[in-house]
């Protein structure tokens, strides 16, 4: 049995679909869900639904019965709670005899020395904890989602252009769908125990280069503007984000500007047995929607 946590989220859903597309029978897949009202689509596909909350250890030990491989998708709860929640999942997996844990970490040059260390160090803490616990693990260091580019760029690319204070920093953005496929490979094939993979594109792009790609796609000049950080935050707040969430996004832009996402390594081609979709082709598909 393969259990997917964060099953109701973007990456969890995409991973379950990738497993089904690989021919894994639905009754060999379990979805960890904390809100039963979100479980209908899994039940209708024949996927087992296990109720559990990262915050509640007992709910996890009962949810993980008979689970062989477990994908721990990092929590979207408040950052201060994330490591403690991940520790609950890992401890419950150990107690119930899970034989392999796959964890979605984050691809930055150095999580512990990042300019946004307080936002990302839980990934390093979770990875270290997993290694200490002596359950076979695989760390998937995911880069930033390519799917977030329109939102990070101010969500109004067609009229305003790409608007983000990210300097000339580059990110090897990769679509969620490709990350999900890489996860499905690791969950269904041998040879991934105690390995760390970088899940990122081969090529990193700056937002100036992204504006050029979009100009080519739309056959229209799309400019790259760098608002002041305060103006960037204010624009998100005006669009309904909380101050806290807007400031969090702005910290990403500053880390990008400092070049913290250039990892110069990618294991995606080896895992997928093909090159991932290019950023230009991916942006073409999402901008045509």
Q: Return residues touching ligand NAP (CB under 6 A).
A: 6-12, 34-35, 38, 53-55, 73-77, 85, 104, 142, 144-145, 148
Decide: 107 and 200 in contact? Cβ < 8 Å. yes
For ligand NAP, the closer of residues 72 and 233 by Cβ is 72
Q: State the Cα angle at 213 between 211 and 217, rounded to 5°.
A: 115
Shortest spacing between CB 159 and ligand NAP, in angstroms? 25
- Give the contacts of 244 (CB within 8 A, at least 6 positions apart): none
For ligand NAP, the closer of residues 142 and 163 by Cβ is 142
For ligand NAP, the closer of residues 29 and 144 by Cβ is 144
Shortest spacing between CB 201 and ligand NAP, in angstroms? 13
Shortest spacing between CB 7 and ligand NAP, in angstroms? 6
Shortest spacing between CB 6 and ligand NAP, in angstroms? 3
For ligand NAP, the closer of residues 10 and 193 by Cβ is 10
Distances (CA, A) of 86 to 71, 74, 172, 194, 198: 11, 7, 26, 18, 20
| Sheet containing 2-4: order of strands | 48-51, 29-33, 2-4, 69-72, 100-106, 137-142, 195-199
For ligand NAP, the closer of residues 10 and 188 by Cβ is 10
What sign for the dihedral angle of Cα 276, 121, 116, 71?
Answer: positive
188/9 Cα distance (integer angstroms): 21
Distances (CA, A) of 27 to 10, 42, 44, 89, 214: 21, 10, 11, 22, 42
DSSP 167: T
The position carrying tokens 């580019």 is 149
For ligand NAP, the closer of residues 157 and 255 by Cβ is 255
Shortest spacing between CB 219 and ligand NAP, in angstroms? 29
For ligand NAP, the closer of residues 52 and 165 by Cβ is 52
Query: How many residues belong to the chain?
Result: 289
The position carrying tokens 């379950």 is 16
Shortest spacing between CB 220 and ligand NAP, in angstroms? 27
- Give the contacts of 4 (CB within 8 A, at least 6 positions apart): 12, 15, 16, 19, 29, 30, 31, 32, 71, 73
Shortest spacing between CB 249 and ligand NAP, in angstroms? 10
Shortest spacing between CB 145 and ligand NAP, in angstroms? 4
Q: Which of 89, 75, 19, 71 is nearest to 47 (CA)?
A: 19
For ligand NAP, the closer of residues 216 and 245 by Cβ is 245
């Amino acid at each position: 049995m393969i259990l997917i946590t964060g099953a109701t989220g973007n990456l969890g859903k995409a991973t379950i679909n990738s497993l089904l597309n690989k021919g894994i029978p639905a009754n060999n897949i379990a979805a960890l869900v904390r809100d039963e009202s979100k479980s209908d689509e899994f039940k209708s596909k024949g996927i087992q639904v296990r109720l559990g909350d990262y915050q509640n250890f007992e709910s996890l030990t009962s949810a993980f019965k008979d689970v062989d491989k477990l994908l721990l998708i990092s929590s979207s709860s408040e950052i201060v709670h994330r490591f403690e929640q991940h520790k609950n999942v890992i401890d419950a997996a150990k107690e119930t005899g899970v034989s392999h844990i796959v964890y979605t970490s984050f691809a930055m040059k150095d999580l512990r020395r990042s300019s946004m260390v307080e936002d990302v160090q839980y990934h390093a803490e979770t990875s270290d904890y997993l290694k200490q616990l002596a359950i076979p693990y695989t760390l998937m260091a995911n880069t930033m989602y390519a799917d977030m580019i329109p939102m990070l760029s101010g969500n109004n690319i067609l009229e305003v252009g790409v608007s983000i204070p990210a300097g000339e920093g580059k990110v090897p953005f990769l679509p969620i769908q490709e990350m999900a496929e890489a996860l499905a490979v690791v969950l269904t094939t041998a040879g991934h125990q105690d390995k760390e993979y970088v899940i990122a594109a081969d090529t990193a792009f700056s937002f100036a280069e992204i504006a050029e790609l979009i100009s080519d796609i739309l056959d229209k000049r799309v400019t790259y503007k760098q608002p002041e950080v305060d103006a960037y935050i204010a624009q998100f707040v005006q669009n309904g984000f909380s101050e806290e969430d807007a400031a969090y996004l702005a910290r990403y832009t500053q880390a990008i500007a400092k070049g913290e996402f250039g990892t110069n390594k990618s294991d995606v081609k080896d895992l997928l047995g093909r090159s991932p979709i290019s950023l230009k082709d991916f942006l073409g598909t999402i901008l045509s929607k």
